[in-house]
Amino acid sequence: MKVIDLRSDTVTQPTPEMRRAMYEAEVGDDVYGEDPTVNRLEAMAAERMGKEAALFTVSGSMSNLVAGLTHCQRGDEMITGADSHIFYYEVGSVATLGGVQIRLLPNDAYGRLDPKAVEAAIRGINLHLPPTGLICLENPHNRCGGTVLPPDYIESISEIAQRHGVPLYLDGARIFNAAIYLGIDARELTKYVTSVSFCLSKGLSAPVGSLLCGDADFIRRARKNRKRVGGGMRQAGILAAAGIVALERMVNRLAEDHENARYLAENLAEIPGLSVDLALVQTNIVAVRVEKGSAGRVEAELAKEGVKVSNLGDGRLRLVTHYGIERADVATALKVIRDVMRRQG
């Protein structure tokens, strides 16, 4: 039985070209700054994000942590949305390792924070109050189902951040999906933020890695924090080589994943017992609410039939399209899902 794995785009396998590039990569000790392939990847990433410099990290979670450690002091407060990856899925890292308190604001169905609420949450100067060290946005928004923040919204938050002298960080793990959805260059989304990270190991299919981007001084300090959390890598050019192929070859094909997600979502919406808000299906993620049976049971039964999905833990399942999932796989998955839903009481 062929397993159709829709749990995440993190399950993507490296392409043959990536494996060749890894094999042939010229490497050095990156902690000394001497890995030419890492240096090349970092320069490419900075250029793609319109920032001065970039830092190759192990994962999106490490980029988010290092961004928090670098922008904030211990005892600062970081503003983020209640469904953000930073708050929801990163084991409380900025709090436990950075001594940074998270100030949680509700986000709407698209992952947006209310600009007025953001402004109101920024702390004034008072002996009792923790200083606001950072405001975070996520684009596309994972738990909202891959929804995209447009440039004018990011600009509105950036104006507030600048007015109060607080840096604005963008968790852009899937930033190229957002750019492709909007039909714009990713720099249009990053020009309003102080720093941004994006992942190589999701839809771009590289095996490992994320890039944290910002101005040269920020990246110099971030490099020290990456070392502090044990993320200084040595001959990391082996990994960076795959990342270079990812940036050069895998960005434009994300449109195919979006088309497959749309096809999947439109068909899921027709299945009795499931509901999908099609307005929220903008990139490669489909969040579907299970209204007949339980999400956990549906997830388990699908897995038995060879269709893997992930559980968002609130009655919704998440299905993600990616490199390696063809239109025919989506059609097969839909057939399995229809059968499983028919059996739910």
Total residues at the site for ligand TLP (CB under 6 A)? 15
Lookup: tokens for 269: 């919406």
Least Cβ distance, residue 212 to ligand TLP (angstroms): 11
Q: Which CB atom, from 201 or from 283, has the smaller least distance to ligand TLP?
A: 201
CA distance 306 to 98: 41
The footprint of ligand TLP on residues 36-95 (CB under 6 A) is 59-61, 64, 85, 89
Q: Which CB atom, from 103 or from 174, has the smaller least distance to ligand TLP?
A: 174
For residue 21, what is the DSSP state? H
Closest CA to 8 of 337, 327, 339, 324: 324
Q: Which CB atom, from 6 or from 46, has the smaller least distance to ligand TLP?
A: 6
Least Cβ distance, residue 32 to ligand TLP (angstroms): 25
Q: Which CB atom, from 85 or from 258, has the smaller least distance to ligand TLP?
A: 85
Contact track, ligand TLP, 201-220, x by CB under 6 A: x--------x----------
Burial class for 26, CB neighbours closer than 10 Å (0-12, 13-18, 19+): exposed
The 3-state DSSP class for residue 151 equals: helix
Q: Which CB atom, from 309 or from 333, has the smaller least distance to ligand TLP?
A: 309
Location of structure tokens 């909007």: 182
Q: Which residue is nearest to ligand TLP (CB)?
A: 60
Question: Is the preceding omega at residue 140 within 30 degrees of 0, hence cis?
Answer: yes
Cβ–Cβ under 8 Å, residues 64 and 90: yes
Which residue in 8, 12, 147, 194 binds ligand TLP (CB under 6 A)? 8
Q: Which CB atom, from 35 or from 171, has the smaller least distance to ligand TLP?
A: 171
CA distance 22 to 176: 23
SS (H, E, C) 170-202: EECCCHHHHHHHHCCCCHHHHCCCCEEEEECCC
CA distance 295 to 282: 22
The footprint of ligand TLP on residues 105-144 (CB under 6 A) is 138, 142
Least Cβ distance, residue 115 to ligand TLP (angstroms): 21
Q: Which CB atom, from 167 or from 273, has the smaller least distance to ligand TLP?
A: 167
Lookup: tokens for 14: 């490296």
The footprint of ligand TLP on residues 275-314 (CB under 6 A) is none
End-to-end CA separation in angstroms for the chain = 26
Which residues sit opposite 79 in a β-bridge?
103, 135
Contact track, ligand TLP, 141-180, x by CB under 6 A: -x----------------------------x-x-------
199 binds ligand TLP (CB under 6 A): yes
Residue numbers at the binding site for ligand TLP (CB under 6 A): 8, 10, 59-61, 64, 85, 89, 138, 142, 171, 173, 199, 201, 210
